[in-house]
Chain A
Amino acid sequence: MHQPLMSSRRILTAGSLLWTGSATAAGDAAPINVVAIGMFLLFALVTLGITWWAARRTRSAHDFYAAGGGITGFQNGLAIAGDYMSAASFLGIAGLVYTSGFDGLIYSIGFLVGWPLIMFLLAERLRNLGRYTFADAVSFRLQAGPVRSLSACGTLVVVVFYLIAQMVGAGKLIEVLFGLDYSIAVVVVGVLMIIYVSFGGMLATTWVQLIKAVLLLTGASVMAIAVLALVGFSFEALIARAVERHPLGARILAPGPLVADPVSAVSLGLALMFGTAGLPHILMRFFTVPDAREARRSVFYATSFVAYFYLLIFIIGLGAVIVLTGETRYTDAATGLLRGGTNMAAIHLAQAVGGDIFLGFISAVAFATILAVVSGLTLSGASALSHDLYASVLRRGDANPQEELRVSRMATIVLGALAIVLGIQFEAQNVAYMVGLAFAIAASVNFPILFLSMYWRGLTTRGAALGGFMGLVTAVTLMVLGPTVWVDVLKHAAPVFPYKHPALFSISVAFVSIWLFSITDRGPRAQAERAAFRDQYIRAQTGLGAAGASRH
């Protein structure tokens, strides 16, 4: 059924070859996938309808940033899980399990263990102290100017790197899955995201995330069940068959080449764990629920969904090993590598177990996933610009809410346009390091200042601002000088800094400098900030005085 379309796609590719010099070889070009595009259009239609509905309910800054505080713990938990279950983790980790088995499990666990810590140490206090962004909580007793500027920088840097990685991934994926041109794909994602966020704010973003999370969990569950059905619903048989089929044999059940040395292992572990606890678009979600109790419930639901999701991915990855290995329809006969790259493991498996219709469904879900994640990121970046930088720093808290709302919509459009431009610019670049960099920065800037502001009386503005800045500079510098950028991107022969993951060093630098610059800070301002810790502590613990939900 794809035959006639395939030839038109060939012509399209040839056209774009002349036009943009795109390097896509004709053999790699995907046929236009009618089922996938149809399902995606349905998703776009439904979510645009929701945006129209949400837009009529988004009247104040509180609605825009926090959906009026009226999201339930269950909904928010599912949305948080949705923010976290990106296409990168769905396709990337399934691919990692397919190629090296156990290494995929290491990543899954790292991504998961940040959640219990968010629950035990951050969620309730954050909800009780903040209103729209995590910088609200940090600037509770510290000077808004420096602390918010730094938090906003931390947020924007994380958001931009994460966005570029998602946009480039989106363009490539959609090119392969849908047979759409890369630039068209990036523009479609960017425009839809701008519409969702600027019109529907947090309410629309949350519902887009909810729908996508349900679709993704359903699709992944069906795939995992199909895989388990092949092995008589026995996990042990699944592993045994995978070992039998995989060229590496039993070595897929042990740590592989991914984590080369002890320093890298610990550093990666720290980045994944504390990076999760410092991701601005996740932290922002805690303000969409009415109180600390619902914030707590959302973390529990989020942790459960994310854990379930990673178990499914592990099964799907092993299933891909069993079903796809050696099948020339999905792998190259000469090299044995997956057609379209390792990220295609889950996609090929969908076709193998469910045919073209299921392939279309999973492709549409992957597209929806990217869209939902970039929307959450953009909203969080826009909030940093409008709430932290514009309203709190530039206007010193004087901006009226309508004006702030207008600025946040403009910020959304600017960030969306930037994401489209950068997404197209970075097409041919290796952007795999960008997610790692985003996590390292979140772990070395946002997490230390947020954590210490809540737990350490001695923290002062000077300590937070200078120490957080040191963390930011260290993380970026070491990443640039390390193997992923210095060698893989800049093509130098050897890295200046030997480790792939800088988090161990940059987190330590951040904590030590925050401590040092705080204890040496003896001004009257610093004394007042330490004295204000008591009130902050009591509000964080009891929720007395916390921003509540607004009802319409």
Chain B
Amino acid sequence: MQHLYERIDRDPRFHALARRRSLLGWGLSAAVLVAYYAFILAIAFAPGLLAMPLGPDTVLTVGIIAGLAVIVMSVALTGVYVWRANRTFDGLNAAIVGDATRDA
């Protein structure tokens, strides 16, 4: 196995793929973390903001909508990751592993 890892390590496509994957992973993580901690910090420091109604003739508050938005966003972003990984990463990965193992 060692020499296969050696071989993959020398393949520039592997490092390009790893970079793209980690960029996507960390980017989406940052989006979730920012949204979630913005919500938590609003609870901690500005509960009044969350209690504000959205408009004059609705009972819906900013907090309810923000909360539901965080839930929907969490699902949507995991979907984005799966979609990207299925569409591009898996194919690239298979090619890299295939080349490394073919004439091993």
* Residues of A participating in the B interface, judged by any CB pair closer than 8 Å: 102, 105-106, 108-109, 112-113, 115-117, 119-121, 124, 236, 239-240, 243, 250-251, 253-255, 259, 261-262, 265-266, 269, 273, 293, 296-297, 299-300, 303-304, 307, 310-311, 534-535, 537-539, 541-545
Contacts of B41 in A (CB 8 A): 262, 265-266
Contact indicator A297/B82 (Cβ below 8 Å): yes
Q: Quote the shortest CB–CB distance from B99 to chain A (angstroms).
A: 11
Contact indicator B59/A236 (Cβ below 8 Å): yes
Bound CA span A235–B48, Å: 22
Contact indicator B2/A535 (Cβ below 8 Å): yes
Contacts of A113 in B (CB 8 A): 32, 36, 70, 74
Q: Quote the shortest CB–CB distance from A544 to chain B (angstroms).
A: 5
Encode contact with A along B10-44: 1 for CB under 8 Å, 0 otherwise.
Answer: 00001001100100111011001100110111011
Contact indicator B78/A299 (Cβ below 8 Å): yes
Q: Quote the shortest CB–CB distance from A529 to chain B (angstroms).
A: 16
Contacts of B59 in A (CB 8 A): 236, 239-240, 243, 250, 253
Contact indicator A109/B64 (Cβ below 8 Å): no
Q: Quote the shortest CB–CB distance from A96 to chain B (angstroms).
A: 13
Q: Quote the shortest CB–CB distance from B20 to chain A (angstroms).
A: 11
Contact indicator B43/A255 (Cβ below 8 Å): yes
Contact indicator A544/B101 (Cβ below 8 Å): yes
Bound CA span A262–B100, Å: 52
Q: Report if B61 contacts A (CB, 8 A).
A: yes
Known: A253-B59, A266-B40. A310 touches B5 (CB 8 A): no
Q: Knowing that A106-B67, A299-B78, A307-B74 are A-B contacts, what are 18 other residue pairs whose CB atoms are under 8 Å apart, sorted by A's residue number?
A: A116-B74, A119-B81, A119-B82, A120-B78, A121-B25, A239-B60, A240-B59, A253-B51, A262-B41, A296-B82, A296-B85, A300-B78, A304-B75, A535-B5, A541-B21, A541-B93, A543-B93, A543-B97
Bound CA span A259–B40, Å: 10
Q: List 21 interface pairs A-B (beta carbons < 8 Å), by A numbering.
A: A102-B63, A105-B63, A105-B67, A112-B74, A115-B78, A119-B82, A120-B24, A120-B26, A121-B26, A240-B59, A243-B59, A250-B61, A255-B47, A255-B63, A259-B44, A269-B40, A303-B74, A304-B78, A538-B14, A542-B96, A544-B1
Contact of B47 among A105, A254, A534 (CB under 8 A): A254
Contact indicator A116/B78 (Cβ below 8 Å): yes
Interface residues of B in 65-104 (CB under 8 A from A): 67-68, 70-72, 74-75, 77-79, 81-82, 85-86, 90, 93, 96-97, 100-101
Bound CA span A121–B9, Å: 21
Contacts of A243 in B (CB 8 A): 59
Bound CA span A492–B18, Å: 53
Q: Quote the shortest CB–CB distance from A536 to chain B (angstroms).
A: 9
Bound CA span A251–B41, Å: 19
Contact indicator A293/B86 (Cβ below 8 Å): yes
Contact indicator A262/B28 (Cβ below 8 Å): no
Bound CA span A307–B72, Å: 8
Bound CA span A243–B29, Å: 35
Contact indicator B67/A538 (Cβ below 8 Å): no
Looking across the interface, which residue of chain A has its beta carbon closest to that of B40?
A269
Contacts of B58 in A (CB 8 A): 236
Contact indicator B29/A116 (Cβ below 8 Å): yes
Known: A120-B28, A239-B64. A541 touches B74 (CB 8 A): no
Contact indicator B44/A310 (Cβ below 8 Å): no
Contacts of B39 in A (CB 8 A): 109
Contacts of B26 in A (CB 8 A): 120-121
Contact of A303 among B17, B44, B78 (CB under 8 A): B78
Contacts of B17 in A (CB 8 A): 541
Residue of B45, B71, B90, B96 with most chain A CB atoms under a 10 A cut-off: B71
Contacts of B50 in A (CB 8 A): 102, 254-255
Contact indicator A311/B71 (Cβ below 8 Å): yes
